[in-house]
């Protein structure tokens, strides 16, 4: 009786150990999803490889390398296929149905195991077994229902993607293809059940655990590698391998390896039915771990978790105390090496020689000696039985458990080390042979997979599609390798290096037919390249202009293409003489430059243009930036220059440049400076030139350098010093000039035109009449049950653009977060302190993190949803938009998205934007995102909130005032000078943005003194 109870206790404890291991894998998967990594097949591949190597080595050591296998290879191929595809089906099901539905339908594994083991193994279950199984399933259903309907742990309903905001009382999921998703989930559960039953049958047919695990590992590695490379390879190669990604990957692999290694013991102890019943507790352990370690208990309380666990535990106890489940053993002939196994009832076999014996499923577990009986044949207890005995002994007394566990661990470790050490050569040969066979078997598939891998690698390191291939020629050669994840200024360094390589490499022949090169006066050259979908790169070389002394650039004249917009803008005459070759005449941006961009882009609309150059070429790039922004008003135009003094550009031109250019870096160093740093630094011989350049740039750009490079030295003030606040205060010099013609009316005015989609979406997506918002794009709604944050994510496949839109204040939870006005220093999306002392609104940060880094599930994680909608593609463009509170969250998202996807062009569109952080936050935003497309209507009160001195607004606002659309920040208005009535999004903000036909220049900018200021004198040679 004591032995029987010890066996039962060991079986129950082992089941919970396995459930805890599954919970570990779930937590690791959650952490990976939060890092934007979703590669379940390749995650499992590492586990299969480890199983094959470790247990194959153990088997080879014990039986010899040439020992015959007790089941043919096709059996393990089928078993591995069942296992790999079961996981793939359940992962795929999440795309089409809700997470709650998948979890509920996954419980189908229990009846499937009961049916399959009855039909195939002749298992006989009593009423008590069925009742225990039902009680376990009831506990699991209670947990899933609590999570799904209350929104706890992120298992809530999936909002309808084609309608407005779901009703608060709606408890039913509205997935996009629920029947398909549910069917795939049931298929996955059935395949899992079949895999467990086949493993149980193999163990019953005298197949030892070492062979089972080695065979499953070898075949599973091949299946998962082939499938993973085809489906997940490019996405995985685009991943930045930080510690936050590597650690969960390693944890997942270790937990899965331990789980697979212990499963045979559980199957031999009490069969597949008890194993799967025990695994139902994994969701409870996962929930408890996430509640205590990650996210807290939101929606599902600790008491509810314990109640559900109690139901599952009671079901397990009832199942194991109702007697052993009996099944027919396999025929004796099936135990002969090479004959494989036979599934089915005894009547399915013919011939009197097929002799069957009845055996309890738990035979051999708990015997006091070292011999066990399986199908009447004595054999040595394998290593799993040793572990089982150690677990059993440990439950008797605490004191004995310590000694027993220590002895068992010592013996196991010593034997394992000796075994692995003695057979390492054989294992290496076996693995090498397996890889060779796999390569021969896959043939053309491997070649195509390698092409996919190369393509993914190029995409990962290039600023745009196509840029990666040119990195090979960066500084005269070097292999392509991803940027080091430890680089401090991730997005700044990436964008800078991409621009620098084009500032250096201007030979059109390097780009084959993808570039147009135009000659300018003084041997200057401009190269225009179609760098990818909707993207162009324009690179200037100064030619003989580089040899002119710095003082010669102080002679200036009016910039011809700005005459009608801001006629007092002036730039160096030397630069204008060369640049004018690209223009048709005064007052227009038309000319050969715009024509070359249109020609190289073909039918694509330019949406992102990078303009670069070093020395005098940087000056030409500065002239080109505003011109291209006016010519292509829907595009984000970035200007990145090297070693160019800001001499001869007057304040009016600086103002126009700052308004029209989306992101700019005016770096004081050039390529020769970077080369000197590389030559003076000791590097790892394996490090590529591209990595060396990245480290050199990183060491050059400190916080002060970044601040100076992203804020021109002679910018005008944001508003006149004598500006008055209040509804009746006159505009004064903020108003446009009554004598200047100003820009001509346009259907697509700069800044306003490219902001319309985002502004309309932020206002209308949560309205009943939302059909016009992001029309035709697939979208999903996200809701945080804990903080009240609400967002929508849409994907435009035509331009590979991700739209991330946030709702404004709507619920009591939103108001609570609005009131948390203390500043937090925890916003560090770049992984390092670009600027010291960054502080952001605590409530805004709470809501933002609840849908990003701290999201409790994939359904509430913006990164996971973007990658799911895009099919794993990294966005080329990101538009973050919001109104009111949502605009504050969009501002945080802009910095976060730029750090997460440093090659993407990021736009932030905000209406009625509150202040988000302090002055250092504003500097960080400007350095990483650039311009904020921020709109203020009349005397709207929210842009003046919070009324605390430490808060600062983002720069470069557009003020809708007195029927003007003025490119100016609204002066600081006190709360008494503002009105809540001017905050309406649908009635005021959206019509103003949609109907505006021009961006007005304030009078005080036109009248500024023309004195020039310059950055410190830099070397102009390059």
CB atoms within 10 A of CB 435: 13
Measured in whole angstroms, the distance separating CA 437 from the mean position of its chain's CA atoms is 35
Question: What residues form DSSP beta bridges with 373?
Answer: 378
Mean pLDDT of 562-568: 89
Choose among 485, 484, 459, 456: nearest CA to 470. Answer: 459
Torsions phi, psi for 230 (to 5 deg):
-70, -40
pLDDT in tens, 681-722: 777 777 777 678 888 888 888 888 898 999 998 999 888 888
How far is residue 437 from each of residues 67, 84, 426, 979, measured CA to CA in Å? 20, 20, 16, 74
The answer to whether residues 768 and 794 touch, using CB atoms and an 8 Å cutoff, is: no
Per-residue pLDDT, averaged over 225-240, amounts to 67
- At CA 137, angle to CA 131 and CA 142, rounded to 5? 125
Confidence of residue 164 (pLDDT cuts 50, 70, 90): very low
Helix (H, G, I), strand (E, B) or coil at 884: coil
pLDDT band at 729 (very low <50, low <70, confident <90, very high): confident
Of the candidates 649, 590, 650, 641, which has an alpha carbon nearest to the alpha carbon of residue 616? 641
The two beta strands, 823-824 and 840-841, are antiparallel
Instruction: Report the Cα–Cα distance between both ends of the chain, in Å, rounded.
Output: 88
| Cβ(750)–Cβ(566) below 8 Å | no
Across 786-867, where does the E strand assignment appear?
Answer: 790-796, 801-806, 823-824, 840-841
- Angle at CA 959, nearest 5°, toward 750 and 766? 85
What pLDDT does residue 861 have?
Answer: 94
- CA 431 to CA 427: how far, in whole Å? 6
pLDDT at 951 over 90: yes
Section 669-689 average pLDDT: 79
pLDDT in tens, 603-627: 999 999 999 999 999 999 999 999 9
Q: What is the pLDDT of residue 976?
A: 85
Task: Give the whole-angstrom CA distance, residue 856 versus residue 851.
Answer: 8
* More confident site: 447 or 994: 994
Over 50: is that where the pLDDT of 166 sits? no
pLDDT: is 751 or 461 the higher one?
A: 751
Q: Specify the DSSP element, H or E, that contains 429.
A: helix 398-442
Highest mean pLDDT (candidates 493-507, 945-959, 1008-1022): 945-959
Residue 910 is inside which H or E element, if any? strand 905-911
Q: Give the pairing of strands 556-558 and 535-541.
A: unpaired
What residue has token string 């039902």?
134
Distances (CA, A) of 587 to 22, 313, 560, 572, 634: 68, 80, 6, 18, 20
CB 47 within 8 A of CB 84: no
- CB 734 within 8 Å of CB 960: no
Could you tell me where in the chain the CATH 3.40.50.1820 domains are found? Answer: 761-768+778-1005
- Does 396 have pLDDT greater than 50? no
Each residue of 200-210: pLDDT tens digit?
Answer: 777 666 677 77
- From CA 144, how far away is CA 108, in angstroms rounded? 14
For every residue of 602-667, which 3-state class applies, written as one string?
CCCCCCEEEEEEECHHHHHHHHHHHHHHHHCCCCEEEEEEECCCCCCCCHHHHHHHHHHCCEEEEE
Alpha carbon distances (Å) from 350 to 327, 359, 378, 649: 19, 21, 26, 97
Query: Does 170 have pLDDT greater than 50?
Result: no
Q: 90 in the Ramachandran plot: left (φ > 0), alpha (ψ -120 to 50) or beta?
A: alpha
pLDDT of residue 431: 30
Range scoring the smallest mean pLDDT among 311-325, 479-493, 546-560:
479-493
**pLDDT at residue 139 greater than cutoff 60:** no
As beta bridge partners, residue 614 has 642
Q: What is the number of other CB atoms lying within 10 angstroms of the CB of residue 881?
A: 31
Q: How far apart are CA 289 and CA 888, in angstroms?
A: 32
Instruction: Give the separation between CA 332 and CA 686, rounded to whole angstroms.
Output: 58
Q: Which two tokens stand for residue 151?
A: 């929104």
Tell me: pLDDT of 148 over 60: no
**Are 999 and 965 within 8 A, CB to CB?**
yes
**Top-confidence range, 66-70, 337-341, 365-369, 712-716:** 712-716
**Full 3-state SS string of 372-383:** EEECCEEEECCH
Query: Higher pLDDT residue, 342 or 644?
Result: 644
Task: Say whether pLDDT at 520 is over 90.
Answer: yes
Please check the confidence at residue 299 and state whether its pLDDT lies above 70. no
Highest-scoring range by mean pLDDT, 160-174, 942-956, 1008-1022: 942-956
- pLDDT, tens digit, for every residue of 892-925? 999 999 999 998 999 999 999 999 999 999 999 9
Least confident segment among 45-49, 550-554, 811-815: 45-49
Closest CA to 558 of 642, 661, 662, 656: 656
Q: Which residues contact 131 (CB under 8 A, 6 or more apart)?
A: 315, 318
C-alpha span between 699 and 338 (Å, rounded): 64
- For the four alpha carbons of 695, 699, 705 and 707, in that order, the dihedral sign comes to positive
Q: 567: helix, coil or strand?
A: coil
Range of 15-19, 61-65, 105-109, 602-606 with top mean pLDDT = 602-606
Average pLDDT value for residue range 474-491: 41
**Does residue 352 carry a pLDDT above 50?**
no
Per-residue pLDDT band for 864 (boundaries 50, 70, 90) equals very high
Mean pLDDT of 348-356: 30
| Closest to 284 measured CA to CA, from 9, 11, 14, 19 | 19
The pLDDT value recorded for residue 406 is 34
Cα dihedral across residues 418, 422, 427, 432: positive or negative: positive
DSSP 981: G
Per-residue DSSP letters for 740-770?
A: S--SPP-SS-TTHHHHHHHHHHHHHTTSS--
In the sheet that 663-667 helps form, which strands lie side by side, from edge to edge?
Answer: 515-519, 525-532, 535-541, 608-614, 636-642, 663-667
Q: How far apart are CA 826 and CA 842, in angstroms?
A: 9
The pLDDT > 90 percentage for the chain reads 34
Give the residue from 907, 1008, 919, 891 showing the smallest Cα distance to 661: 907
Question: pTM here?
Answer: 0.57
Of 237-251, 327-341, 923-937, the range with the highest mean pLDDT is 923-937
Which helix (H) or strand (E) segment holds residue 878: the answer is strand 877-883
**Cα angle: 879, vertex 882, 886; to 5 degrees:** 130
| Per-residue pLDDT at 760 exceeds 70 | yes
With cut-offs at 50, 70 and 90, classify the pLDDT of residue 284: low
Q: Is the pLDDT of residue 886 over 90?
A: yes
CATH of 761-768+778-1005, one of 3.40.50.2300, 3.90.1010.10, 3.40.50.1820, 3.40.50.720: 3.40.50.1820
C-beta separation of 904 from 73 below 8 A: no
CA neighbours within 13 Å on the CB side: how many for 71? 27
The CA distance from 46 to 249, in Å, is 9
Range of 154-168, 344-358, 680-694, 729-743 with top mean pLDDT: 729-743
The span from the CA of 103 to the CA of 154, in Å, is: 13
Q: Are 846 and 889 in contact (CB under 8 A)?
A: no
Could you give the dihedral angle defined by the CA atoms of residues 451, 453, 456 and 460, in that order, rounded to the nearest 10 degrees? -130
Residue 165 has pLDDT above 60, yes or no: no
The C-alpha atoms of residue 332 and residue 130 are separated, in whole angstroms, by 31
pLDDT at 215: 85
Residue reference for tokens 């490379």: 229
pLDDT of 258 reads 82
Sign of the Cα pseudo-torsion (381, 384, 390, 392, in order): negative
Q: Which of 832, 869, 866, 828 is nearest to 849 (CA)?
A: 828
Are the beta carbons of 991 and 954 closer than 8 angstroms? no
Percent of the chain predicted with pLDDT > 70:
61
**Residue 565: is its pLDDT beyond 50?**
yes
| Fold (topology level) of 467-709 | Rossmann fold (3.40.50)
């Amino acid at each position: 009786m004591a032995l029987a109870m010890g066996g039962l206790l060991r079986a129950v404890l082992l089941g919970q150990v396995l459930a805890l291991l599954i919970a570990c894998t779930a937590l690791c998967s959650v952490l990976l999803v939060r890092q934007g990594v979703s590669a379940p097949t390749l995650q499992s591949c590492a586990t299969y490889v480890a199983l094959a190597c470790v247990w194959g080595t153990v088997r080879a050591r014990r039986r010899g390398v040439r020992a015959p296998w007790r089941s043919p290879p096709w059996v393990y191929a089928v078993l591995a296929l069942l296992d790999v595809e079961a996981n793939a089906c359940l992962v795929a099901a999440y795309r089409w149905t809700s997470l709650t539905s998948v979890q509920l339908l996954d419980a189908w594994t229990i009846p499937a195991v009961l049916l399959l083991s009855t039909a195939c193994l002749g298992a006989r279950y009593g009423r008590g077994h069925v009742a225990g199984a039902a009680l376990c399933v009831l506990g699991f259903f209670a947990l899933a229902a609590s999570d799904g309907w209350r929104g706890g742990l992120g298992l809530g309903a999936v909002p309808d993607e084609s309608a407005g905001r779901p009703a608060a009382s709606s408890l039913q999921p509205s997935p996009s293809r629920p029947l398909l998703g549910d069917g795939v989930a049931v298929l996955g559960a059935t395949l899992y059940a079949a895999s467990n039953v086949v493993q149980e049958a193999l163990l019953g047919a005298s197949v030892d655990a070492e062979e089972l695990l080695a065979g499953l590992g070898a075949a599973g590695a091949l299946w998962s590698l082939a499938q993973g490379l085809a489906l997940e390879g490019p996405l995985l190669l685009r991943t930045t391998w930080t510690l936050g990604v590597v650690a969960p990957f390693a944890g997942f692999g270790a937990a899965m390896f331990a789980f697979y290694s212990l499963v045979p013991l559980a199957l031999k102890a009490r069969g597949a039915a008890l194993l799967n019943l025990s695994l139902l507790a994994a969701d409870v352990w996962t929930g408890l771990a996430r509640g205590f370690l990650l996210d807290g208990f939101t929606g599902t309380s600790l008491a509810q978790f314990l109640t559900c666990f109690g139901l599952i535990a009671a079901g397990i106890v009832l199942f194991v105390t109702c007697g052993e489940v009996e099944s027919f053993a396999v025929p004796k002939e099936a135990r002969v090496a090479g004959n494989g196994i036979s599934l089915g009832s005894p009547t399915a076999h013919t011939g009197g020689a097929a002799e069957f014996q009845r055996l309890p499923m738990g035979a051999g577990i708990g015997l006091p000696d070292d011999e066990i009986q399986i199908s009447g044949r004595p054999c040595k207890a394998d290593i799993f039985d040793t572990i089982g005995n150690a677990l059993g002994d440990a439950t008797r007394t605490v004191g004995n458990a310590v000694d027993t566990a220590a002895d068992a661990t010592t013996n196991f470790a010593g034997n394992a080390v000796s075994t692995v050490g003695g057979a390492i050569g054989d294992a290496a040969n076996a693995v090498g042979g397996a890889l060779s066979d796999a390569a021969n078997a896959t043939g053309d598939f491997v070649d195509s997979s390698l092409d996919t891998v190369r393509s993914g690698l190029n995409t990962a390191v290039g600023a745009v599609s196509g840029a990666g291939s040119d990195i090979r020629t960066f500084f005269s050669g070097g292999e392509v390798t991803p940027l080091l994840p430890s680089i401090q200024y991730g997005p700044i360094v990436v964008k800078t290096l991409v621009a620098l390589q084009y500032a250096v490499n201007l030979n059109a022949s390097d780009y084959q037919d993808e570039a147009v090169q135009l000659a300018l006066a003084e041997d200057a050259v401009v190269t225009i390249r179609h760098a990818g979908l909707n993207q162009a790169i324009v690179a200037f070389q100064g030619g003989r202009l580089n040899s002119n002394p710095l003082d010669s650039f102080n002679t200036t004249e009016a910039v011809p293409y700005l005459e009608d917009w801001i006629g007092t803008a002036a730039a160096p005459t030397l630069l204008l003489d060369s640049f004018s070759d690209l223009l048709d005449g005064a007052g227009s941006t038309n000319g050969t430059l715009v024509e070359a961009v249109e020609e190289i882009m073909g039918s694509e609309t330019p949406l992102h243009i990078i303009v670069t150059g070093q020395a005098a070429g940087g000056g030409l790039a500065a002239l080109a930036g505003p011109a291209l922004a006016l010519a292509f008003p829907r595009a984000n135009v970035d200007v990145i220059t090297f070693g160019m003094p800001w001499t001869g550009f007057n304040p009016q031109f600086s103002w126009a440049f700052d308004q029209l250019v989306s992101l700019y870096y005016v770096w004081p160093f050039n390529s020769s400076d970077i080369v000197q740093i590389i030559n003076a630094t000791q590097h790892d011989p394996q490090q590529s030139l591209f990595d060396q350049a990245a480290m050199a740039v990183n060491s050059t750009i400190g916080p002060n350098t970044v601040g100076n490079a992203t804020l021109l030295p002679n910018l005008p003030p944001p508003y006149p010093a004598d500006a008055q606040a209040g509804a009746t205060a006159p505009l004064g010099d903020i108003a446009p000039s009554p004598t200047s013609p100003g820009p001509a009316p346009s259907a697509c005015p700069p800044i306003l035109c490219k902001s319309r989609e985002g502004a309309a979406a932020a206002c209308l997506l949560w309205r009943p009449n939302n059909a016009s918002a992001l029309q035709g794009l697939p979208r999903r709604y996200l809701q945080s049950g804990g903080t009240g944050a609400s967002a929508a994510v849409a994907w435009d496949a035509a331009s590979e653009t991700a739209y991330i839109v946030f709702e404004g204040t709507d619920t009591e939870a939103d108001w609570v977060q609005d009131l948390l006005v203390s500043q937090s220093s925890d916003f560090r999306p770049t992984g390092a302190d670009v600027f010291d002392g960054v502080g952001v609104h605590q409530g805004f940060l709470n809501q933002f993190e609840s849908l990003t880094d701290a999201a409790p599930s994939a359904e509430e994680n913006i990164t996971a949803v973007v990658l799911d909608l895009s099919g794993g593609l990294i966005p080329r463009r990101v538009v973050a938009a919001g109104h009111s509170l949502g605009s504050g969250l969009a501002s945080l998202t802009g910095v976060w998205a730029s750090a997460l996807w440093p090659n993407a062009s990021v736009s932030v569109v905000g209406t009625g934007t509150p202040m988000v952080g302090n002055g250092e936050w504003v500097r960080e935003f400007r350095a990483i995102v650039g311009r904020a497309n921020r709109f203020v209507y009349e005397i709207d009160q929210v842009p003046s909130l919070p009324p605390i001195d430490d808060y600062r607004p983002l720069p470069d606002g557009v003020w809708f005032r007195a029927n003007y659309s003025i490119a100016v920040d609204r002066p600081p208005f006190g709360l008494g000078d503002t009105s809540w009535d001017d905050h309406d999004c649908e009635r005021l903000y959206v019509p103003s943005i949609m109907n505006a036909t021009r961006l007005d220049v304030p009078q005080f900018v036109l009248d500024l003194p023309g004195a020039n200021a310059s950055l410190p004198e830099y070397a102009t040679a390059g």
